[in-house]
Structure 1
Amino acid sequence: MSARPEEAAQVFSGGGRRGTGALHLLWALPVAVLVTLGITLVAGVAACGVSGCSGGGFGRSTDLQPLAVVLVLVAGAVLAAPPALVPWTPHRAVRAGCAVVVGLGWAGFAWLSITGVL
Protein backbone atom coordinates (compact mmCIF):
# COMPACT_ATOMS: atom_id res chain seq x y z
CA MET A 1 0.00 0.00 0.00
CA SER A 2 1.55 3.27 -1.06
CA ALA A 3 1.30 6.57 0.79
CA ARG A 4 -0.57 9.47 -0.66
CA PRO A 5 1.55 12.43 -1.82
CA GLU A 6 0.25 14.57 1.06
CA GLU A 7 1.37 11.99 3.61
CA ALA A 8 4.78 11.67 1.97
CA ALA A 9 5.18 15.45 2.05
CA GLN A 10 4.45 15.46 5.79
CA VAL A 11 7.05 12.76 6.42
CA PHE A 12 9.77 14.68 4.58
CA SER A 13 8.84 18.04 6.07
CA GLY A 14 9.24 17.03 9.69
CA GLY A 15 6.08 15.08 10.38
CA GLY A 16 3.68 17.91 9.85
CA ARG A 17 4.82 19.91 12.88
CA ARG A 18 5.31 23.56 12.12
CA GLY A 19 8.52 25.26 13.16
CA THR A 20 10.62 22.15 13.66
CA GLY A 21 12.94 23.00 10.77
CA ALA A 22 14.48 25.89 12.68
CA LEU A 23 15.39 23.54 15.52
CA HIS A 24 17.77 21.71 13.21
CA LEU A 25 19.85 24.89 13.03
CA LEU A 26 20.69 24.34 16.72
CA TRP A 27 22.91 21.39 15.81
CA ALA A 28 23.69 22.12 12.15
CA LEU A 29 25.22 25.56 12.68
CA PRO A 30 27.65 24.57 15.47
CA VAL A 31 28.81 21.56 13.45
CA ALA A 32 29.30 23.78 10.39
CA VAL A 33 31.18 26.37 12.45
CA LEU A 34 33.58 23.77 13.84
CA VAL A 35 34.25 22.29 10.40
CA THR A 36 34.66 25.79 8.96
CA LEU A 37 37.17 26.80 11.62
CA GLY A 38 39.25 23.70 10.89
CA ILE A 39 39.23 24.35 7.15
CA THR A 40 40.09 28.02 7.73
CA LEU A 41 43.02 27.05 9.96
CA VAL A 42 44.39 24.79 7.23
CA ALA A 43 43.87 27.60 4.71
CA GLY A 44 45.85 29.97 6.93
CA VAL A 45 48.76 27.57 7.13
CA ALA A 46 48.57 26.97 3.37
CA ALA A 47 48.53 30.71 2.62
CA CYS A 48 51.60 31.75 4.55
CA GLY A 49 53.23 28.68 6.02
CA VAL A 50 53.58 27.58 9.63
CA SER A 51 55.44 30.77 10.63
CA GLY A 52 52.61 33.04 9.55
CA CYS A 53 52.53 35.77 6.94
CA SER A 54 55.21 37.81 8.73
CA GLY A 55 57.74 35.05 8.13
CA GLY A 56 58.70 34.53 11.77
CA GLY A 57 62.40 34.16 10.96
CA PHE A 58 61.86 31.34 8.47
CA GLY A 59 60.42 33.37 5.61
CA ARG A 60 57.03 33.14 3.99
CA SER A 61 55.92 30.05 2.15
CA THR A 62 53.48 31.05 -0.59
CA ASP A 63 53.64 27.91 -2.71
CA LEU A 64 50.20 26.77 -1.59
CA GLN A 65 48.40 30.13 -1.78
CA PRO A 66 46.02 28.99 -4.59
CA LEU A 67 45.05 26.04 -2.38
CA ALA A 68 44.36 28.49 0.44
CA VAL A 69 41.96 30.46 -1.76
CA VAL A 70 40.07 27.26 -2.63
CA LEU A 71 39.97 26.21 1.04
CA VAL A 72 38.56 29.58 2.11
CA LEU A 73 35.81 29.28 -0.50
CA VAL A 74 35.06 25.72 0.64
CA ALA A 75 34.87 26.96 4.24
CA GLY A 76 32.37 29.61 3.15
CA ALA A 77 30.29 26.98 1.37
CA VAL A 78 30.31 24.71 4.44
CA LEU A 79 29.13 27.57 6.64
CA ALA A 80 26.48 28.56 4.10
CA ALA A 81 25.03 25.04 3.84
CA PRO A 82 22.86 24.99 7.01
CA PRO A 83 21.03 28.27 6.34
CA ALA A 84 20.46 27.14 2.75
CA LEU A 85 19.38 23.56 3.39
CA VAL A 86 17.54 23.66 6.72
CA PRO A 87 13.93 24.81 6.18
CA TRP A 88 13.92 27.52 8.88
CA THR A 89 11.73 29.69 6.66
CA PRO A 90 9.37 28.54 3.92
CA HIS A 91 10.86 31.03 1.45
CA ARG A 92 13.70 29.48 -0.55
CA ALA A 93 14.85 32.87 -1.82
CA VAL A 94 15.37 34.11 1.75
CA ARG A 95 17.33 30.98 2.65
CA ALA A 96 19.45 31.26 -0.50
CA GLY A 97 20.09 34.96 0.08
CA CYS A 98 21.14 34.39 3.69
CA ALA A 99 23.38 31.51 2.64
CA VAL A 100 25.12 33.64 0.00
CA VAL A 101 25.68 36.47 2.47
CA VAL A 102 26.99 34.12 5.18
CA GLY A 103 29.23 32.15 2.80
CA LEU A 104 30.78 35.06 0.98
CA GLY A 105 31.00 37.08 4.19
CA TRP A 106 32.96 34.34 5.93
CA ALA A 107 35.19 33.74 2.90
CA GLY A 108 36.00 37.45 2.65
CA PHE A 109 36.57 37.86 6.37
CA ALA A 110 38.76 34.76 6.55
CA TRP A 111 40.87 35.77 3.57
CA LEU A 112 41.38 39.31 4.89
CA SER A 113 42.30 37.88 8.29
CA ILE A 114 44.71 35.35 6.83
CA THR A 115 46.50 37.89 4.67
CA GLY A 116 46.82 40.33 7.56
CA VAL A 117 44.58 43.10 6.24
CA LEU A 118 42.30 42.92 9.30
Structure 2
Amino acid sequence: MASEKPGSIEHADDSGFVALEDSLLSMENIDRASPDIWPEKIPGMSDFMHSFSPPNSTKPPYSKTFTPEDQNYLLQLASLPLGNLIAKVKELHDVAYQLGVEEAKEMTRGKYLNLFNRKKRNI
Protein backbone atom coordinates (compact mmCIF):
# COMPACT_ATOMS: atom_id res chain seq x y z
CA MET A 1 0.00 0.00 0.00
CA ALA A 2 1.16 3.54 -0.64
CA SER A 3 1.98 5.78 2.29
CA GLU A 4 1.40 9.50 2.66
CA LYS A 5 4.85 10.36 1.25
CA PRO A 6 5.09 10.39 -2.54
CA GLY A 7 7.52 7.84 -3.90
CA SER A 8 7.55 5.59 -0.84
CA ILE A 9 6.04 2.12 -0.50
CA GLU A 10 5.05 0.30 2.65
CA HIS A 11 5.88 -3.41 2.77
CA ALA A 12 3.03 -4.44 5.05
CA ASP A 13 2.19 -7.76 3.41
CA ASP A 14 4.54 -9.97 1.35
CA SER A 15 1.86 -12.59 0.58
CA GLY A 16 0.71 -10.51 -2.39
CA PHE A 17 4.17 -10.75 -3.93
CA VAL A 18 4.30 -14.52 -3.42
CA ALA A 19 0.88 -14.94 -5.03
CA LEU A 20 1.97 -12.80 -7.96
CA GLU A 21 5.17 -14.81 -8.36
CA ASP A 22 3.22 -18.08 -8.30
CA SER A 23 0.80 -16.79 -10.93
CA LEU A 24 3.71 -15.96 -13.26
CA LEU A 25 5.20 -19.46 -13.03
CA SER A 26 4.98 -21.40 -16.28
CA MET A 27 5.20 -25.18 -16.38
CA GLU A 28 5.67 -25.20 -20.16
CA ASN A 29 8.76 -27.04 -21.40
CA ILE A 30 10.05 -26.00 -24.79
CA ASP A 31 12.55 -28.40 -26.28
CA ARG A 32 14.64 -26.15 -28.52
CA ALA A 33 16.41 -29.15 -30.05
CA SER A 34 13.25 -30.32 -31.76
CA PRO A 35 13.50 -30.19 -35.56
CA ASP A 36 9.70 -30.18 -35.78
CA ILE A 37 9.35 -26.91 -33.89
CA TRP A 38 12.40 -25.14 -35.39
CA PRO A 39 13.14 -26.80 -38.74
CA GLU A 40 16.21 -25.90 -40.74
CA LYS A 41 15.52 -23.45 -43.54
CA ILE A 42 17.70 -25.51 -45.84
CA PRO A 43 17.86 -29.18 -44.77
CA GLY A 44 21.40 -30.32 -44.01
CA MET A 45 22.83 -26.79 -43.86
CA SER A 46 23.89 -26.99 -40.21
CA ASP A 47 25.83 -30.22 -40.86
CA PHE A 48 27.44 -28.59 -43.89
CA MET A 49 28.50 -25.53 -41.88
CA HIS A 50 29.88 -27.66 -39.03
CA SER A 51 32.02 -29.59 -41.50
CA PHE A 52 34.04 -26.40 -42.19
CA SER A 53 34.63 -25.40 -38.57
CA PRO A 54 37.91 -26.60 -37.05
CA PRO A 55 37.46 -29.19 -34.30
CA ASN A 56 39.25 -27.08 -31.66
CA SER A 57 37.06 -24.00 -32.12
CA THR A 58 34.88 -24.67 -29.09
CA LYS A 59 36.42 -21.79 -27.11
CA PRO A 60 34.44 -18.56 -27.17
CA PRO A 61 36.31 -15.56 -28.64
CA TYR A 62 36.47 -13.76 -25.29
CA SER A 63 38.45 -16.60 -23.69
CA LYS A 64 41.68 -15.79 -25.54
CA THR A 65 44.79 -14.93 -23.56
CA PHE A 66 45.54 -11.28 -22.94
CA THR A 67 48.44 -9.54 -24.63
CA PRO A 68 50.81 -7.45 -22.48
CA GLU A 69 49.06 -4.30 -23.76
CA ASP A 70 45.69 -5.71 -22.64
CA GLN A 71 47.09 -6.53 -19.20
CA ASN A 72 48.56 -3.02 -18.83
CA TYR A 73 45.23 -1.45 -19.81
CA LEU A 74 43.37 -3.62 -17.29
CA LEU A 75 45.82 -2.65 -14.55
CA GLN A 76 45.38 1.04 -15.42
CA LEU A 77 41.59 0.69 -15.22
CA ALA A 78 41.83 -1.23 -11.94
CA SER A 79 43.97 1.50 -10.39
CA LEU A 80 41.49 4.29 -11.21
CA PRO A 81 39.40 5.78 -8.41
CA LEU A 82 35.67 5.09 -8.61
CA GLY A 83 34.77 8.53 -9.98
CA ASN A 84 37.37 8.32 -12.74
CA LEU A 85 36.29 4.78 -13.61
CA ILE A 86 32.68 5.92 -13.95
CA ALA A 87 33.84 8.82 -16.15
CA LYS A 88 35.78 6.35 -18.33
CA VAL A 89 32.69 4.12 -18.70
CA LYS A 90 30.60 7.15 -19.66
CA GLU A 91 33.24 8.17 -22.19
CA LEU A 92 33.21 4.70 -23.74
CA HIS A 93 29.41 4.79 -23.81
CA ASP A 94 29.48 8.14 -25.63
CA VAL A 95 32.00 6.83 -28.18
CA ALA A 96 29.88 3.73 -28.79
CA TYR A 97 26.78 5.90 -29.22
CA GLN A 98 28.55 8.16 -31.72
CA LEU A 99 29.71 5.12 -33.69
CA GLY A 100 26.12 3.89 -33.80
CA VAL A 101 24.88 7.26 -35.05
CA GLU A 102 27.55 7.36 -37.76
CA GLU A 103 26.76 3.78 -38.79
CA ALA A 104 23.06 4.63 -39.05
CA LYS A 105 23.90 7.62 -41.27
CA GLU A 106 26.07 5.46 -43.54
CA MET A 107 23.41 2.74 -43.76
CA THR A 108 20.79 5.35 -44.65
CA ARG A 109 23.12 6.80 -47.27
CA GLY A 110 23.68 3.32 -48.72
CA LYS A 111 19.93 2.72 -48.80
CA TYR A 112 19.27 5.99 -50.64
CA LEU A 113 22.06 5.25 -53.11
CA ASN A 114 20.53 1.81 -53.63
CA LEU A 115 23.84 0.09 -52.84
CA PHE A 116 22.26 -2.94 -51.25
CA ASN A 117 20.01 -3.89 -54.17
CA ARG A 118 22.52 -3.56 -57.00
CA LYS A 119 23.49 -6.59 -59.00
CA LYS A 120 27.18 -7.47 -58.78
CA ARG A 121 29.09 -6.71 -61.93
CA ASN A 122 31.63 -9.14 -63.34
CA ILE A 123 35.00 -7.40 -63.40
Which structure shows the bigger proportion of residues in helix conformation? Answer: 1
Verify same fold: TM over 0.5.
no
State TM-score, norm by structure 1.
0.28
> Which structure has the greater CA radius of gyration?
2
